[in-house]
A and B are shown apart, each in its own frame.
Chain A
Amino acid sequence: MTARVVIVGNGMAGARLAGELHAREGDRKVTVLGAEPHRAYNRILLSTLLAGRIDEPDVELTEAAGHGVDLRSGVPVIAVDRSAREVRTDDGERIGYDHLVLATGARAVVPTLPGLDPANLPERVVPFRTLDDCRRILAAADGARSALVLGGGLLGLEAARGLATRGLATTVVHPREHLMERQLDPTAGAVLAGTLANFGVSVQLGVSATGVAADANGVRLDLADGRSLRADLLVLSCGVRPDTALAQAAGLTVRRGVVVDDRLRTTDRSISAIGDCAEHDGVLTGLVAPAWAQAQVLADVLTGTDPLARYRPRPVVTRLKAAGIDLASMGDAASGGPGEELTFADPTRGTYARLRIRDERLIGAILLGDNPAVGTVIQLFDRGQPVPSDRRALLLGRALGAVGATPAASPALMPDAATVCQCNTVSKGALVRSWRSGARTVDAVVAATRAGTGCGGCRDAVSGIVDWLSQAESVEVTR
């Protein structure tokens, strides 16, 4: 059992780990050191904050403070002393640990461009990563009429949609030939661009930026094709880079991220890493779900709840979260290869679906727009469960899955055994027999058979049958 756990980072991964440790039995002291001066917050909600639909308190997350958890925000860690098993904070304090967890996250990449000094960005040029970034974007957007977003990946598009919601004419500049090229194929990218256009977001594709000029009045983005775009602010969404500085300085093995094994241990048994800063099996996660799964495994290991717990990456589902845009991408959907391929495209209405199936399992999918089966597709992919024998159920969803007998066009076509009144188990044949026994009105048929006396939902159907009986000269009834 670990006595003193120090977590560096109070972001999505670090705060989650503190909560997981808090929820487990045992006596331990957990210290969480967050560099940002805020409560733990939900990064996923920042684009909603950008859109002006929520306020800052609404992005706060539950914090596991008290009960053995010492939570300190605004306390950057500047060094790890592995031999002394201490971390050192920027105000010189030394905090001892028995187990150290690095959850330092990732930092926004500032592209190397003339006019952009990462250490001293112009006021109207802001990356989109942290709550403070969000505040700066909002400050720059105040009174602004237009915005540029450099980078047409997931986060860039969410930021663009948020700025457009605020009423800014927004342009996304993306160096690749289609949007979100890691998750989408060209057709999906084009449909998505069309959807964005409807919300006031225009897209410049296949062109890279060559320089930035900014002053108090606005920003100019120079492009490789010689054009220049002007706006009131520029948001940078050019990817992130794991924050590995502490690990590197401490001599831990670092490739793109801090290298960890299945138990999330670094090359020092007393130090783990989780979340965006960690590299497991050559993969950087960059998403919340795997970070939280890592937090759970690490808590199980550290507390002894499940000493054999191992982190097993699950297939990743990417979901674009923006008002009016419904996009899910998972697995290997963008490329070709062996297996079945199903597609449905209705670009006019912004709908596109592409499913790839091998051995009765989904290996990839792109669903954009109105796809009622999206929840089913995600679950089948996530759990590796077999797909329906009728594949259309996945492409078209509930429209096809709707069950229940469609009412016969005429009572004459209805089989006598068909149940008309479920509440009282009255068949069409029973209604006809009551008619033959002398019941000649709806009320009389109801009194004789009890049809329609429960929920009352079949009353129209009973009336229809009585009408039909009234008009038919002779009715054949079979049992």
Chain B
Amino acid sequence: MTLRADDAGVTVHPREFPTNRGGLCQKGWTAAELLDHPERLTTPLVRDAATGELHPASWDTALDRVVAGIRAVQDDAGRDAVAVFGGGGLTNEKAYALGKFARIGLRTRHIDYNGRFCMSSAAAAGMRAFGIDRGLPFPLADLGRADTLLLVGANPAETMPPLVRWLTEQRRNGGKLIVIDPRVTATARQADLHLQPLPGTDLAVANALLHIALTEGWVDRAYVADRTTGFDAVRRGVAAWWPARAEQLSGVPVADLEATARALGTGGRVIILTARGAEQHAKGVDTVTSYVNLALALGLPGRDGSGYGCLTGQGNGQGGREHGQKADQLPGYRRIDDPAAREHVAGVWGVPADELPGPGVPAYQLLDSLGTPGGPRAMLVFGSNPVVSAPRAARIEGRLRDLDLLVVADLLLSETAALADVVLPTAQWAEEDGTMTNLEGRVLRRRALRPPPPGVRTDLAIISDLAARLADAESADVDPTDANPASVRPAAVAAARFPADPAVVFAELRRASAGGAADYAGISWDRIDADDGVYWPCPTEDGPDTPRLFADRFATPDGRARFHPVDHRPAAEEVCATYPLHFTTGRVLAQYQSGTQTRRVAALRRAAPEAFVELHPDLATRLGIDDGDPVRVTSRRGEFRAPARLSAGIRPDTVFAPFHYAGAGRANSVTNDAVDPISGMPEFKICAVRVEKA
């Protein structure tokens, strides 16, 4: 989008860009309302020990409190007693700086981010199959040319409306759209074929589709032989998933499985996309892998116009996962336990490699350890609201309360900020420069329209200032009497190491990412402007970028994609007599994530004012519930309340609620905190509940 500022304020104008083609949904149109929102934070807040209230404070007071708190817990309990929690909405520069700050500013291994709740399962599945994780290994425009497009657990008509323009084009070109979703969503309604499985059975559906492809002779044997390894184990595994078996488990008719397999197996250009519906499970990695296996068996990845991809969620969901705010990761999508990667990044950062901490733990494990014996006692949160977005949220809320020090940098007083000891007001998207990397792996520019209002600082400036103050405090410790006026002050060194200027940070990010999977070395802001974005990897300034991956080889050591046999397993929590219904969560069009921003925009609040519980009319009748009645949804972990919304578009054995809301309507009060053993992704998409009239 393009912004214009005049006396009346900032207005949004759609921009003809290759991804959205001029489309904006209501969230885009209204985004500027937050710039001058009356609830916007414009001064730091510090909790008063006596009253327990948050009070406005100066930046010096607030940052001193943060530094003192960090020093206190680290002196007492070691470096790892401080944790950092980031967000997938942060720019690449901020994500990079935050990871660096954690590793060499705070020197803690504990950093992770809310992207763990978003696409980590697809990322892990992509890594193990292709050796690389880029949401779409091809431009979004390929969707418009696909003969068959399979969406698994994706509802872009609500979550990414401009993308639907590509689906419309696809069908206008005669393509077939197939959607797998337990609900008749706005996206499913547009599909030629909609498979409506029981939540938690997507993996069995994929294995049955591959079973059919095998029995019908649609497997691309030459591709499997030339470009992959490990197929035999997968072939034997899916032999046990004949369609009728998957039908009984999932409820998807054999005929629909066969029609889907046929469309995938006999179409020319075929694309399979997964999103949160397939991924947010305790078997999310295996579920995504089952669709990757299917794509590989059909010879799709690397074939022109075909492939497998993941629809990445947050604004910078892709870039945010590449540059080091993940627990096990260093910039350029490097692994923190890889000696060569450590050596390279430490060199860029100017520290010995052995000073870099090792891997931390994934987001939920981190949040669940806060304030517990051996767990972190202080945490800095940037651009995230886990009180609303974490699973089993009441428990996490308790963990946050148990911290000695909680620091939240945000532009509004989110539910998490409201618990903080120190709240730092930050700049918004229209007030800072930087880059984001979209779902295509295309690096895009964000340009500042105006400076932040007085009293507000950018995240980069906050990190820089904190690093300087920490360095100062530490050096004072070492030997306060040994002041050497000739030496450079440690604070100045630290400030130089953590620049506040995003252009400087990006230049360093390029060097740090050089040679990594996500190589940005050849990407400059000028080149992004000139080319409508640049696709990574792009190792040299004068060399090409990479709109399409995998044409010749995969990013594995032997260049072949890897099959992994995966089998269905039950959800972590199954229904029983006490909790007889499946519960699943998702999004609505007019709200975003934890709703901190969108719940404060009047037009969006009017469109989607409160949480609701979607249930089938037959189920409602049995429970004595009418449309609009207040209902209570209870699981083993908690309850929430919201009005009933009856819909024949949901299975009678399943209820749904959006997760954007806080307080009594917080859907995550009941969700399950079981996590995927590989990705650490929580099981947001299925748990067992009881529903009653409230």
Contact = CB atoms under 8 A, between A and B. Distances in A.
B251 A425 contact: no
Given A59-B239, A454-B161, A319 B254 contact: yes
Number of contact residues on A: which range applies?
A: 35 or more
Q: By CB atoms of chain A within 10 A, which of B248, B250, B254, B606 has the most?
A: B248
B162 interface: yes
Interface string B234-262: 01110110111101101111111000000
A425 B606 contact: yes
B157 A456 contact: no
Given A58-B235, A403-B648, A424-B26, A45 B248 contact: no
A388 B651 CA distance: 11
Given A53-B216, A62-B236, A403-B649, A455 B251 contact: no
Contact of A58 (B14, B237, B239, B245): B239
Given A375-B256, A422-B157, A453-B23, A48 B247 contact: no
A372 B255 CA distance: 8
Nearest to A421: B26
Interface string B613-627: 000011001100000
B164 interface: yes
A389 B254 CA distance: 25
Given A319-B244, A374-B255, A454-B24, A58 B168 contact: no
Interface stretch (B95-103, B184-192, B333-341): B184-192
A92 interface: no
Contacts of B161: 422-423, 454-455
Contacts of A370: 255
A450 B26 contact: yes
B589 A422 contact: yes
A48 B242 CA distance: 11
Contacts of B255: 326, 370, 372, 374
Interface in B61-76: none
B17 interface: no
Nearest to A371: B253
A110 B653 CA distance: 46
A383 B581 CA distance: 13
Given A404-B189, A425-B603, A450-B29, A53 B215 contact: yes
B437 to A, nearest CB: 23
B447 to A, nearest CB: 22
A61 B248 contact: no
A349 B250 CA distance: 27
Q: By CB atoms of chain A within 10 A, which of B168, B217, B242, B253 has the most?
A: B253
Interface string A375-402: 1101100110110110000000010011
B650 to A, nearest CB: 9
Main secondary structure of the interface of B (DSSP, over half): helix
A224 interface: no
A94 interface: no
B476 interface: no
A392 B232 CA distance: 44
A73 interface: no
A45 B618 contact: no
B647 interface: yes
A355 to B, nearest CB: 15
A53 B236 CA distance: 16
A386 B163 CA distance: 39
A42 interface: yes
A60 interface: yes
A62 B565 CA distance: 9
B90 to A, nearest CB: 25
A321 B241 CA distance: 13
Contacts of A404: 184, 189, 649
Contact of B251 (A376, A386, A423, A453): A376
Contacts of B240: 42, 61-62
A453 B24 contact: yes
B509 to A, nearest CB: 33
Contacts of A401: 648
A385 B240 CA distance: 27
Interface string B641-681: 00000011100110000000000000000000000000000
Interface in B146-161: 157, 161
B607 interface: yes
Interface in A289-343: 289, 317, 319, 321, 326, 328
B590 interface: yes
Contacts of B24: 450, 453-454
A62 B162 CA distance: 44
Interface string B585-607: 00001100000000000010011
Contacts of B617: 389
A455 B214 contact: no
B576 interface: no
A170 B281 CA distance: 48
A418 interface: no
Nearest to A62: B236
B157 A455 contact: yes
A457 B164 contact: yes
B239 A425 contact: no
B237 A62 contact: yes
A457 B198 contact: no
B34 interface: no
A424 B248 contact: no
A153 B670 CA distance: 49
B157 A289 contact: no
A378 B215 CA distance: 23
Contacts of B216: 53
A444 interface: no
B25 interface: yes
Interface of A: 41-42, 44-45, 48, 53-54, 57-63, 288-289, 317, 319, 321, 326, 328, 370-376, 378-379, 382-383, 385-386, 388-389, 398, 401-404, 422-425, 450, 453-457
Given A54-B215, A388-B618, 7 more contacts: A379-B251, A385-B652, A402-B184, A404-B189, A454-B164, A455-B23, A456-B165
Nearest 6 CB-CB pairings of A with B = A455-B164, A454-B161, A319-B244, A455-B161, A454-B25, A375-B253
25 contacts: A41-B239, A42-B239, A53-B216, A54-B215, A58-B235, A59-B239, A60-B239, A61-B236, A289-B248, A321-B243, A371-B253, A374-B253, A374-B254, A376-B251, A378-B251, A379-B198, A385-B652, A385-B653, A386-B618, A388-B618, A389-B621, A403-B648, A422-B157, A454-B162, A457-B157
